[in-house]
Amino acid sequence: MRLLKCLRPLRFMLIARSQSTWLTYGIITMFGLITLVWSQRQAINPQQYYTFTAEIRNLQTLQEDVKSDVLKTRFGLDLNYDHLTYESDELRRSWLRLQQQGQKLLAGHPELKQQFQAIEPLLQNQAEAIERYKSQNAILQNSLRYLPIVTHQAHQIDVLSDQIGLHDHLDELLQHILIYNLNADEALANPIQQEIVALEAYLPTISQPLQVTFQDILLHTKALLRLKPEVAQLIARSLDARASQTVEQFRSSYDRIQTQNLEWADRLRWVMYSLCLGLMGLVMWLYRIRDRAVVLQQANHQLEQTVQDRTGALQQTLSELQASQSQLIHAEKMSGLGQLVAGIAHEINNPVSFIYSNANPALNYMTDMMGIIQHYQATYPQPPETVTDYLEKIDWAFIQQDFPAVLTSMKTGADRIREIVLSLRNFSRLDEDGKKQADLNEGITSTLLILQHRLRAQSDRGAIAVTQDLGQIPLVMCYPSQVNQVIMNILANAIDALEEQLLVKEPDYQPAIHIWTIADQDCVRIEIADNGAGIPEAVKQKLFDPFFTTKPVGKGTGLGMSISYQIIVERHGGKIYCDSTVGEGTQFTIELPLMTREET
Amino acid sequence: MSLPIVRSPIFRKVRSRFTVIFLLVCGLGLLLATFFGPKSAASLPEPIAVMAVTQSSEQIIPALPQSISLNPQKVALGRQLFHDRQLSRDQQFSCASCHNIQTGGDDGEVRSIGRGDVRLAMNSPTVLNSAYNFRQFWDGRSVSLEDQVNHPLKNDQELGSTWPQVIERLKRDRHYVTQFQALYPQGIAAETIREAIATFERSLITPSRFDQFLRGEKSALTVQEKAGYDKFQSYGCVACHQGVNLGGNMFQRLGVMRDYYASAHQEKPTDQGRLNLTGNPQDRYVFKVPTLRNIVETAPYLHDGSIETLTETVQIMAKYQLGQPMPASDVADIVAFLKSLSGQIPASVAENSHEVKQ
C-alpha cells in the first residue's frame, strides 16, 4: 500500500505525458537496447573464432609435419635440416600468432586459458629437443659413418703388427656398434663397453700410428655411446604426444565454447532483428501520431483562420452599420433640420411676400401722398396755425426727407429676407425629391449666403475674403441639397482652418477663400481653396473616414467629410479629393459627372 | 488497424517517411559497423621466416636460387638505410661499417672496432645470404632479420642510438619521408625501418660456381674443388655445414669431439656461446653453425675471429669437430672447394650499391 502511495505521483507523471512523448522515450529506449545488443553481438566476432580455429589447425598440422621431419632426418629421407628448421620456425610463429589472438579471445575463460597456457612449455620442450637433436644427430651420424672407416684403417695398419686378437676385438666392436645402432638398448651398450676396456688394454702394446687410430676409434665409440641414447631420447621428446594431445584437448574445449558463443551470437542477432522491427513499428506509430497531430493542427489553423475572417467581416459589417447608422442619424437630423428650415422658409415666405410685394405700391403711394402735400403747400402757402404747429411738431421737413429712405430700406430688408428664405429652400431642397438638373453656381452662392455670418468680421478677427470664379457651367443632374451640403461642409472646414491659422499667423495675414467652378469635357469641377492651416499627411489619409475628427469633443461629429465622400462618390459617381500643404492651405476638388450613371 | 489506415493518405505519407527512417537507420547501422567493425591491421605482417625461401631437403646442399622476388623499392630504401650513418648516435657508423657488401659482407677485422674505438666481443658475421640463417648472431639470439636490426642499433658499442632518435632524424629528410610514405601506410617507424633493412638483406644472395655445379653444370668446379667437395662430404663437414647455406640451420658446440678450450686455446666469457643466452649448461660453447658461403672473403674465422687462415680453421674443425685426422692434401682440397663458394650478388640486386654514399 505504501509503495502504491509512493508511486502515485509517478502515475500522474505518466498520465501527464502525451502519447507521442512516450513513444519517443520508447524509441530512445529501443535504440539503446539495440545498441546494447549490437555491441554484445559485436563482441563475438565469428571471424576471430574462425581465424583462431584455423590457426590451431595450422599449428596441429605443423606439429605433425615437424614430427615427420624429425623422423625423415633421422632415417635419411631428408638429407638436410632445412625443411625441419623451416617447419619448426613456422610452428613457433604459428604459436606466437595464436598467443596474440588468444589473449583477447580467452580473456573471459580462465579454464580455457589455463589449458592454453599448458601448451607453451610442451612446445618449448619440443623445440629445444629438436634443436639439440639436430646438433647431436649430426655428430652421431658422423661417428657412425666414421667408425667402420677408421676400423678398416686399423685393420690395414694391423697387417704390419701381429697383435693376436686385435682383429677379433675390432670386428666385435663394430658388430656390437651396428647392433646397438639398430636398437639403443642399455643392455646392448654393455658389450661395447667391454670391448672398449679390452681395446684400451691393447693401447700400450701397439705401434704409434695404430695408437692414434685406436684413440680415434675409442673417441668415436665413446661419442656413440654417449650420443646414441641421447639422440633416441631427444627424438622421443621431439615426438612427444603430450603436446599434440594438449593442443587437441584445448581445441575441442575451445570448439565447444566457440559453438556456444556463436549460438549465443545467433540468438542475439535475432533479438536485434526483433528489436529493430519493434523500433521501426514505434517510429511508424510515432509518425502516424505526428501526422494526425499535423492534420489536427492544420484543421485548427484553418478554423482559426475562418473565425478570424468571420470576425473581420463582422467587424466590418459592424463599422459599416455604425457608419450607416450615424449617417442615418445625421441624414435624419439633416432631414429634420431641412424640414424645419423649409417650413420656416415657407412660413416666412408668405409674410415677406406681403411686405415685398407691398413695398413698391407703398412707395408709389407715399410719392403720391407727398405730391399731394406739396400741392397743398403750393396752393396754400399760409396754412393755419394748427397745421403749421403740427408740421413743426412732426418735423415734416425730416419726414419728407426720411420717409422715402425708410420705405426703400424696408424694401431692401424684405428683399434680403426673400433672398435668405430662397437660400434656405435652396439648401434644404427637401421639397425636391430625386435628382434634377441644378445650377451648381446657384448652390454655391446660397451656401455662401448661409455662411455669411461666419465670414463676416468677428470681434477677434477681420472678415474672410471670399472670391469666386464661377464659370459658365452646364446644369448638372444631381441631388442639389446634398451637393450643397458637401460645399457647406468644405467651406465650414475651410473657415475653421482659416480661424486656426489666424491664431498663429502674423497680423497682416489675410484669410481668404477662393471658389472656382469649371466646366470640363464630361464633368463639372468645383474647386474650393483656402490659405488656412493645411491638413497634415496623417490626417489626410483618414480624412474621409467616418467619425474621424480633429475638432474638440462636442464640436464636430467626424461625419462631415465621410458623408461628403459618400454623397459625391457613391451617390453621384463623382470624385472628391484634397490637395494640401501644411501652413500653406488646402484645396478641395469636387468633380461631378455630367452624365451620372443610374443609381442602383 | 489495417483497413482504415491503408485508405488514409496519412499512411502513404507515413510509409514514405518510414522508408526514409528505415534508410536512415540502415545508414546509421552501417556507419556504426564501419566505426566499430573489425579494424584493418595496421601493423606489418609477421616477418617471413628466414628459411622460408627454400625448404628443399632432398639434397644435402640444395643450390641457392639465382634471383629473388622482392619489392625493388623496399630493397633500394633498405640499401640506403643500411648505408646511412644517421642510424648511429654520433652519425659515424652505419650497418655497412661492419658489414661491407663489397668485401664479403663483413669487415675483415678480427673483431670489429665499435664506438669509442672499442673492439666488439665477436667477429662480424657476413650479412650475405643471412636470410638463409635460421637464427641471427653467433649465439642465435634473433629469430628474424627484422629483430636483428634492433640489437646493433641499440648496442652502445655499435650504433648506440634509439628508435625515436633515428625516426626523428629520418623524418627530417624529405627524401626518406616520401619514400616511406610511398611504401608504407604508417610512414617512418621502427617497424618499417626494420622491414626495409631486412628486405634489403634478403636480397643479398650470392649464387656461386658451386651452385652452378649443383645445378648440374659439372664443369663449374675444378677437379681439385670437386675432390674437395667429395672430402667435405666424406669427412662429415657437411653434417653441420649443410642445407642451402652450408650452415646456418643448426647449432653446434665448438669442440664437440675434443675439448677446444682444454688445450691451447684461451677461454673468454664470450666463448660460452649460447650458455650466456639460455643459462643451460648443455649450451656451453654452442654457436650457430655459420654459413660457408663466401668463406674466403670473411677471414679471420670462428666466432671470435681468432683463427687467421682458412687452412688452419679447417684443421681445427677436423680435429675438434670431426675428431678425425686430416692429411694436408685433403685440407688443401677442402679449402679449394670452399673457395668455389664465393659468389656474386646478382646484377639486378647489386646495380645500385655504388650510388650509396658510404
Beta bridge partners of A323: none
User: Do the interacting molecules here have an ipTM over 0.95?
Assistant: no
Which of the two residues, B219 and A10, has the higher pLDDT score? B219
Q: Taking the CA of residue A43 as centre, how many other CA atoms within 13 Å lie in the half-sphere pointing to its CB?
A: 13
Task: Kindly give the confidence (pLDDT) of every residue in chain A, 600 residues in length, as a single tens digit, with 9 standing for 90 and above.
Answer: 555 565 555 554 454 457 778 888 888 888 898 888 888 877 777 888 888 989 999 999 999 999 999 999 988 888 899 999 999 999 999 999 999 988 888 888 888 899 999 999 999 999 999 999 999 999 999 999 999 999 888 888 755 555 667 788 888 888 888 888 888 788 888 889 888 888 888 888 887 888 888 889 999 999 999 999 999 999 999 998 999 999 999 999 998 888 888 888 888 888 888 888 988 888 888 888 878 888 888 999 999 999 999 999 999 888 888 877 776 776 666 666 667 777 777 788 888 888 888 888 888 888 898 889 889 888 888 888 888 888 888 888 888 888 888 888 888 888 878 777 776 766 665 445 678 888 888 888 888 888 888 888 887 777 888 898 888 888 888 888 888 888 888 988 888 888 888 887 677 788 889 999 998 888 899 999 998 888 888 888 778 776 677 777 656 666 678 778 878 887 788 888 888 888 888 999 999 988 755 443
**3-class secondary structure for B197-247?**
HHHHHHCCCCCEHHHHHHCCCHHHCCHHHHHHHHHHHHCCHHHCCCCCCCC
Q: How far is B336 from chain A (nearest CA, A)?
A: 22
Q: What is the radius of gyration, based on Cα positions, of chain A?
A: 73
DSSP-derived letter for residue A543 is T
Considering only the beta carbons, identify the residue of A82, A138, A288 that sits closest to B51.
A82
- Quick one: how far is CA A296 from the chain centroid? 20
Contact between B343 and B335 under an 8 Å Cβ cutoff? The reply is: no
Residue A276, amino acid: C
Residue A507: how many other CB atoms lie within 10 Å? 5
Burial of A290 (0-12, 13-18, 19+ CB in 10 A): middle
Q: Give the best residue of B23, B44, B57 to mutate against chain A (max A CB count within 10 A).
A: B57
> Residues of chain B with pLDDT > 90: what percent?
66
Grid coordinates of A356: 415685398
Residues of chain B found within 8 Å of residue A38, distances taken between Cβ atoms: 32
Residues of chain A found within 8 Å of residue B233, distances taken between Cβ atoms: none
pLDDT interval class at B36 (50, 70, 90): low
pLDDT interval class at B42 (50, 70, 90): very low
pLDDT reported for residue A203: 82
Q: pLDDT tens across B206-216, in order?
A: 999 999 999 99
Considering only the beta carbons, identify the residue of A39, A131, A219 that sits closest to B257.
A219
pLDDT reported for residue B329: 95
Residue A34: how many other CB atoms lie within 10 Å? 21
Residues of chain B found within 8 Å of residue A280, distances taken between Cβ atoms: 18, 21-22, 25
Binary contact (A81, B11; C-beta < 8 A)? no
Contact between A437 and A476 under an 8 Å Cβ cutoff? The reply is: yes
Which of the two residues, A429 and B65, has the higher pLDDT score? B65
Considering only the beta carbons, identify the residue of A132, A280, A287 that sits closest to B282.
A132
Residue B245, amino acid: N
Binary contact (A223, B257; C-beta < 8 A)? yes
Q: pLDDT tens across B139-165, in order?
A: 999 999 999 999 999 999 999 999 999
Contact between B276 and B264 under an 8 Å Cβ cutoff? The reply is: no
Distances (CA, A) of B3 to A86, A277, B17, B336: 73, 21, 19, 101
Q: How far is B304 from chain A (nearest CA, A)?
A: 21
> Buried b vs exposed e over A455-491: b needs ≥16 C-beta within 10 Å?
beeeeeeeebebeeebeebeebebbbbbbbbbbbbbb
B2, pLDDT greater than 50: no
pLDDT reported for residue B335: 96
Closest-CA residue to A93 (of A118, A59, A128, A52): A59
Using CA atoms, how far apart are residues B98 and B122, in angstroms rounded to an integer? 11
Distances (CA, A) of B182 to B42, B118, B173, B186, B190: 15, 39, 14, 10, 16
Query: Chain A residue with minimal CA distance to B278?
Result: A128
pLDDT reported for residue A76: 86
Distant-in-sequence, close-in-space partners of B38: CB < 8 Å, separation ≥ 6: A45, A47, A48
Binary contact (A291, B10; C-beta < 8 A)? yes
pLDDT reported for residue B225: 95
Contact between A464 and A455 under an 8 Å Cβ cutoff? The reply is: yes
Mean pLDDT of chain B: 84
Binary contact (B324, A89; C-beta < 8 A)? no
Binary contact (B323, A96; C-beta < 8 A)? no
Considering only the beta carbons, identify the residue of A42, A82, A139 that sits closest to B249.
A82
Phi/psi at A103 (nearest 5 deg)? -50, -45
This prediction's pTM: 0.61
Considering only the beta carbons, identify the residue of A97, A134, A220 that sits closest to B250.
A134
Binary contact (A219, B5; C-beta < 8 A)? no
Using CA atoms, how far apart are residues A243 and A91, in angstroms rounded to an integer? 12
pLDDT reported for residue B228: 96
Query: Chain B residue with minimal CA distance to A295?
Result: B10
Using CA atoms, how far apart are residues A212 and B311, in angstroms rounded to an integer? 22
Cis preceding linkage at B65, omega within 30: no
Residue A207, amino acid: S
Q: Give the best residue of B250, B254, B275, B324 to mutate against chain A (max A CB count within 10 A).
A: B250
Contact between A135 and A263 under an 8 Å Cβ cutoff? The reply is: no
pLDDT interval class at B49 (50, 70, 90): very low
Distant-in-sequence, close-in-space partners of A594: CB < 8 Å, separation ≥ 6: A474, A476, A477, A522, A523, A524
Q: How many CB pairs under 8 A join A and B?
A: 136
Residue B181: how many other CB atoms lie within 10 Å? 12
